[in-house]
Amino acid sequence: MGPLAGIRIVELGGIGPGPFAAMLLSDLGADVLRIDRVVPSDGGVHMPDKYNLLHRGRKSVAMDLKKPEAVAAVRKLVAQADALIEGFRPGVTERLGLGPDACLALNPRLVYGRMTGWGQDGPLAEAPGHDMNYIALTGALHAIGERGGPPVPPLNLVGDFGGGSLYLALGIVSALLERGHSGKGQVVDAAMVDGSASLMTLMYGMHGAGTWADERGTNRLDSGAPYYSVYETSDGRYISLASNELRFYRNTLELLGLRWQDLPDQQDRSSWPALKQRFAEIFRTRTRDEWVELAEGKEICLQPVLSLAEAPQHPHLKARNTFVEYDGVVQPAPAPRFSRTEPAIQRGAPRVGEHTDEALADWGFDAPARKALRDAGAIR
C-alpha cells in the first residue's frame, strides 16, 4: 500500500505543518508512529478526535518526555526508524537528549526532519511566530490582495502547508532516496520562511525582469488583469476566470458579448482597470451556474467558486474520488496518484494514546517493558 510502504517514521507530535507532513507520508504508505504529549499542548485547533484529519493514518502513543524513561523509550524507537519528524523550537530536542547528534549516533541511517518557522539559525530562530508572520517576511503576503486593499491572508496554506509541510515531506523522501546510495542519514532543516520564499520564485523572476509590479492587484496573476480574476454574479456567488492565453481571452470576450477588435491589446495594462469594471458589470447580469453553463465547451478558463460544502459534490471531483468519506468524515483523498502503489488512508485520526500498548508492542517493547514505562508515568 503506497510507495513508502515499509518505511518507519517516528513523529514527535506537534501542531500544524509537522502533522500535515506526517499525514502525507502516511497516506503514501509509511508506518508513522505519533508520540503525543500526555498533557495536550494549548496550541492547535481543538475538536473531536475523528475530525482532526491532520492526525489521520497513524497510531498514537502518549508519552511524558519530561520523564527520562520516556526519552529512553523514544531513543529505542529511533534506533529502529528510517526517519524522525519534530517541530519544536531550535534546541528543544537537544535539551531532551533527542537532538540530531544523539539520534544519528544511535542510528546513522536516520533521516532527521526538522520543521520550524524561521529555521534552525538566524536572528529570528528563537522568536515565536505563525504562518502569516513567515509569509509576511518573504513578500508572499504583500503580493496577495486586490489593488488598493490590504494584504489578504491565504488561510495557512502558503506558510504552514505549502512552504512547510510539503518541503519537509519532499526533503525526507529525498534524503531517504540519497541514503540508498550513501548508506547515511542526515538532517533536513525545513523552515516555513525558506519554503514560502521558494514558492515565490516565479514572482521574483518576473519582478527582476520588470514584468511584475510590487503593487499588489496590478499584475496578471494577482487579480490585476481583467482576464484573471474573481467576479461576483447576480446571485451573490462568484466565478473564477483565468483566460490567460489569447485564444481563451478572445473566447471570453465573445461570451461576454464583446468584440476583441474594439478593445485595446490584452496586455495593455493601462486598460485593465476599466475593462475589469466592464467585466464585473456583465458578470453581475447572470447567476454563477448560468455562466458556468454558458461557458461549458467553449474553451474558456471559467469555473465556479465552490464552498467547502459544495466542492465534494462537483461531478469532476466525484468522478476522480478527490474527496472520500472515511470514519464518517468527508475529507480530501490521498494525493498524488500512482499506477501501481496506490496511496490510501491507513486509519482515522486517533485519540491521544489510543495505541500506546499496541504500537509499543509492534516496535519491540514486551509486556514487562511497557509496564515499567507505565509505572514510571512515562506513558499513558
What distance in Å separates the CA atoms of residue 276 and residue 56, rounded to the nearest whole number? 43
Q: What is the CA radius of gyration of the chain?
A: 25
- In the chain the first and final C-alpha atoms are separated, in Å, by 30
pLDDT score for 47 = 86
Q: Report DSSP state, residue 219.
A: S
Average pLDDT estimate for 8-35: 97
User: How much is the pLDDT for 349?
Assistant: 96
Q: In 3-state terms, what secondary structure has residue 231?
A: strand
The one-letter amino acid code at 266 reads: Q
Residue 281 in this model has a pLDDT that exceeds 90: yes
| pLDDT score for 38 | 87
Cα 55 to Cα 42: distance, rounded to the nearest angstrom: 16
Contacts of 192 (CB under 8 A, 6+ apart): 17, 115, 116, 117, 118, 131, 134, 135, 159, 160, 163, 164
Residue 333 burial (C-beta neighbours within 10 Å; 0-12, 13-18, 19+): middle
Over residues 352-374, mean pLDDT:
97
Judge whether residue 45 has pLDDT over 90.
no
Do the Cβ atoms of 62 and 380 come closer than 8 Å?
Answer: yes
Burial degree of 261 (CB within 10 A; 0-12, 13-18, 19+): exposed
Q: What is the fold, at CATH topology level, of the domain defined by 228-232+238-304?
A: formyl-coa transferase, domain 3 (3.30.1540)
Q: Average pLDDT over the chain, rounded to whole?
A: 96
Question: Is pLDDT at 235 greater than 90 in this prediction?
Answer: yes
pLDDT of residue 41: 63
Residue whose C-alpha is closest to residue 77's, from 369, 377, 376, 374? 369
Confidence band, pLDDT 50/70/90 cuts, at residue 69: very high
8 Å CB contact between 298 and 241: no
Residue from 31, 160, 194, 222 carrying the catalytic annotation: 160
CATH number of 8-199+323-375: 3.40.50.10540
Q: Could you confirm whether 160 is annotated as catalytic?
A: yes
Q: What is the pLDDT of residues 118-163, one digit of tens each?
A: 999 999 999 999 999 999 999 999 999 999 999 999 999 999 999 9
With pLDDT > 90 as the criterion, what percentage of the chain qualifies?
97
CB-CB contact of 22 with 9 (8 Å): yes
pLDDT for the residue numbered 42 = 58
- In which region does residue 257 sit, left (phi positive, over 0), alpha (psi from -120 to 50) or beta (all else)? left
Question: Which among 64, 130, 142, 314 is annotated as catalytic?
Answer: 130
pLDDT score recorded for residue 40 = 67
Q: Is 362 a catalytic residue?
A: no
What pLDDT is attached to residue 39?
Answer: 74
pLDDT digits (tens, 9 = 90+) for 324-350: 999 999 999 999 999 999 999 999 999
How do the domains of the chain map onto residue ranges?
Answer: 8-199+323-375, 228-232+238-304
